[in-house]
Chains A and B, each alone.
Chain A
Amino acid sequence: MSVTDQPVATAIAVDPGKRWRIARTVAGVAVLGALALLFSGFGVASFAVRVVLLVGLVVLAAGLLQGRMHKFFSSPSAYVATACLLLLVILAIFATEISPQNPYDLRQLDIMDGRQPPGSTNFSGTMTYHLGTDEQGRDIWSGILYGLRVSLSVSIVATLIAMAIGVVVGIYAAWAGGRIEAVLMRIVDFQLSFPSILVALMLMAAFGRGLDKIVIALVIVQWAYYARTVRGTALSETRKEYIDAARGLGLPDWRIVFGHLLPNCIPPLIVISTVQVANTIVLESSLSFLGVGVPITQPSLGLLIANGYDYMLSGQYWMSMYPGVALLAIVASINMVGDRLRDTLNPRLTR
């Protein structure tokens, strides 16, 4: 590159940091849009929407690690966990395309195929049940894929909503201060002093089963956690010079809060929410296992395990064993990725 054309090149090319910021924004909007479409039931069958969702998620993850890839992948377990997580997310997103059978379409089920061990072929000899079937003759592998989708989407949506509420409450408390802050934080302390499984159990007992209800219950048990974290971050951020500078410029409060304070409170939240998604999956599956979670028509992994549990003692292990392995794989890989993220993104640990 000669000296003369260099300014031209830099003028045209967007600098990499900015390019990543644009990519992140676009991906974030795309993911939210795709999620909204999928959950409104509007685009459930639409393949394109789900491709957009997957690509958006990958871009978001890459944007998060931008410049820190090397550090993130410094241990072999990071490779394994990331690959495992990516695979499971793909399986969940494209469950309808990948699974050999729609386990909730009664026309595709044959009661003669009930409780077949892994590797057996179906009654009419057209497909093989690699992981066996349950008492209704459903293919366990297909059930796992659909269950994975339910588990993941319930916990991700619950985490996102809880985070949004927590951020609003936390920032408001930190910004308002005084009596409002004291009252809000007492509520948060009060809620956090009870174990989430008990609170969620009671809420579900009161609400009854249902996807929307379990999301609400999971949001209620989690928002306080985010509120406390955000308040802590926001308190230390408000003391920094850039907030004073924004005040000095005469910006209105809402612009300081949303334009300056909020973006700086988000990074620590990302790490927490990763691990929190895993906790939410465990919580949801425990509730479903106890019979107060998702409805029977849309079983999550926890409900699949509970369904197979009755046959476990008679040696028909596959009905709850394999959904359990899937549950363990998703939770463990999310936790490992979260662990690596914390080590990578936490500025305090930078050596």
Chain B
Amino acid sequence: MLVFLLRRLAQSVFVLIAMMIVVFFGVYMVGNPVDILISPDATPREIEETMARFGFDQPVHIQFLSFVGNALQGDLGRSFVHGESAVSLILSYMPATLELALLGLIFSVLIGVPLGVYAGYKADRWQGRAIMTGSIFGFSLPNFWVGMLFILIFAVELRWLPSTGRGDTVEVLGLRLSIFTADGLSHMILPALTLALYKASLVTRLARAGTQEALMQDYVKFARAKGLSETRILVVHVLKNIMIPIITVLGLELGSMIAFAVVTETVFAWPGMGKLLIDSILTLDRPVIVAYLMLTVIIFIVINLIVDVIYTLLDPRVRVKGEAA
């Protein structure tokens, strides 16, 4: 186990270094930040001074080395636009994205599981088919368009919910969160639903397949023979058994939720990491882009590592293979 873990850790470090190189040189290709930072009527002397201050006058490989050196100390540079450290800037935007992704996950379970179980129960009837066709729409609807539709219906026409922004926030354990205030929660509902829709159709399909399989098992037959009501069988017996794979998949999908939040946050002007990334791309704020990418890479590596370790614990065959190799 230890050997396996060490091997995986070494691989992760390698991936991190590879990503660092790719990210730095990729972002280095993006435009010339000097044009944006310096006013057009600056004198050549001012331009030179600014270039020197940000280190743009150095050759690329020197810039890269100093970037790596600083990155190892947890310093990914200062934002050109905001003037503060890129890492702390992103960390200050992170809670907004995380709470959105979390509420999105909760919504997708609340929508997807009941629909999926019902579709599995009525698999060959019109209800089941209708839900499955509906789930295709869930897959097909582009994230940003759903968000716009929600804004149009619930914010512009019906005026039930606010369309943009984060609403009131409250400090919990040192993080500013919207989820615990009524106003903040009302701001979260639309973006979280938008984010949840794609995952909800995924959960629906998983739950349907699981239910269909579970209904053929002996324990369901036994429960029926005991004379339990169909509702009780579905809600108590089937549901418990299909939840494990669904939760596993959703844990895996948390990372992609954060990625998809880029689009949702832009539509709803939600001040999270994704919105920050888009703004930084549009203003060529290199350090923030690099820091966002490095942070996301780390999040993904950690998620993948955790999943691998859990699989190893659950499935001994992987472990044996890993140790033998």
- Measured CB to CB, the residues of A under 8 A from B are 75, 77, 190, 193-195, 197-198, 201-203, 205-206, 208, 278, 282, 285-286, 289-292, 302, 305, 309, 312-313, 315, 317, 320-321, 324, 327-328, 331-332, 335-336, 339
Q: Are B262 and A313 in contact (CB under 8 A)?
A: no
A285 to B152, CA, bound (A): 19
Q: Are A206 and B136 in contact (CB under 8 A)?
A: no
The reply to whether the CB of B64 lies closer than 8 angstroms to some CB of chain A is: no
A165 to B144, CA, bound (A): 30
The reply to whether the CB of B54 lies closer than 8 angstroms to some CB of chain A is: no
Can you name the residue of chain A whose Cβ is closest to the Cβ of B136? A335
The reply to whether the CB of B101 lies closer than 8 angstroms to some CB of chain A is: no
Q: Are A320 and B281 in contact (CB under 8 A)?
A: no
Please judge, given known A-B contacts A77-B133, A202-B26, A317-B152, whether A331 and B140 are in contact too, CB under 8 Å.
yes
Q: Are A292 and B148 in contact (CB under 8 A)?
A: no
Q: Are B140 and A335 in contact (CB under 8 A)?
A: yes
Please judge, given known A-B contacts A206-B29, A315-B156, whether A282 and B140 are in contact too, CB under 8 Å.
yes
B281 to chain A, nearest CB (A): 5
A245 to B278, CA, bound (A): 56
A177 to chain B, nearest CB (A): 16
Q: Mark B259-277, 1 if CB is under 8 A from A, else 0.
A: 1101100110000000001
Q: Count B interface residues, CB 8 Å.
A: 44
Q: Mark B269-297, 1 if CB is under 8 A from A, else 0.
A: 00000000110011000000100010011
A309 to B149, CA, bound (A): 11
Please list the 6 inter-chain residue pairs (A to B) with the smallest Cβ-Cβ separation, ordered nearest first: A195-B259, A331-B140, A332-B140, A195-B256, A198-B259, A205-B281
Q: Are B156 and A332 in contact (CB under 8 A)?
A: no
The reply to whether the CB of B182 lies closer than 8 angstroms to some CB of chain A is: no
The reply to whether the CB of B304 lies closer than 8 angstroms to some CB of chain A is: yes
The reply to whether the CB of B141 lies closer than 8 angstroms to some CB of chain A is: yes
Within 8 A of A (CB), among B145-188: 145, 148-149, 151-152, 155-156, 163
The reply to whether the CB of B300 lies closer than 8 angstroms to some CB of chain A is: yes
20 contacts between A and B (CB under 8 A): A193-B304, A195-B259, A205-B289, A206-B27, A206-B29, A208-B31, A286-B143, A291-B278, A292-B281, A302-B142, A309-B148, A312-B151, A313-B151, A313-B163, A317-B156, A328-B145, A331-B140, A332-B140, A336-B133, A336-B136
Q: Are B293 and A290 in contact (CB under 8 A)?
A: no
A315 to B152, CA, bound (A): 8
Within 8 A of A (CB), among B234-280: 255-256, 259-260, 262-263, 266-267, 277-278
A292 to B144, CA, bound (A): 14
Q: Are A328 and B140 in contact (CB under 8 A)?
A: yes
Q: Which residues from chain B contact A201 at a C-beta distance below 8 Å? A: 262, 277, 281
A81 to B140, CA, bound (A): 13
Q: Which residues from chain B contact A278 at a C-beta distance below 8 Å? A: 140
Q: Are A291 and B282 in contact (CB under 8 A)?
A: yes
Can you name the residue of chain A whose Cβ is closest to the Cβ of B15? A190
The reply to whether the CB of B30 lies closer than 8 angstroms to some CB of chain A is: yes
Q: Are B144 and A305 in contact (CB under 8 A)?
A: yes
Q: Are A195 and B145 in contact (CB under 8 A)?
A: no
Please judge, given known A-B contacts A289-B263, A290-B263, A327-B145, whether A339 and B282 are in contact too, CB under 8 Å.
no
The reply to whether the CB of B219 lies closer than 8 angstroms to some CB of chain A is: no
B78 to chain A, nearest CB (A): 20
Q: Are B262 and A197 in contact (CB under 8 A)?
A: yes
Known: A194-B297, A205-B30, A328-B145. 19 other contacts (CB 8 A): A193-B304, A194-B259, A197-B262, A198-B259, A202-B293, A206-B27, A282-B143, A285-B142, A286-B144, A290-B278, A305-B145, A315-B156, A317-B152, A324-B142, A324-B148, A328-B137, A336-B133, A336-B136, A339-B136
A80 to B31, CA, bound (A): 47
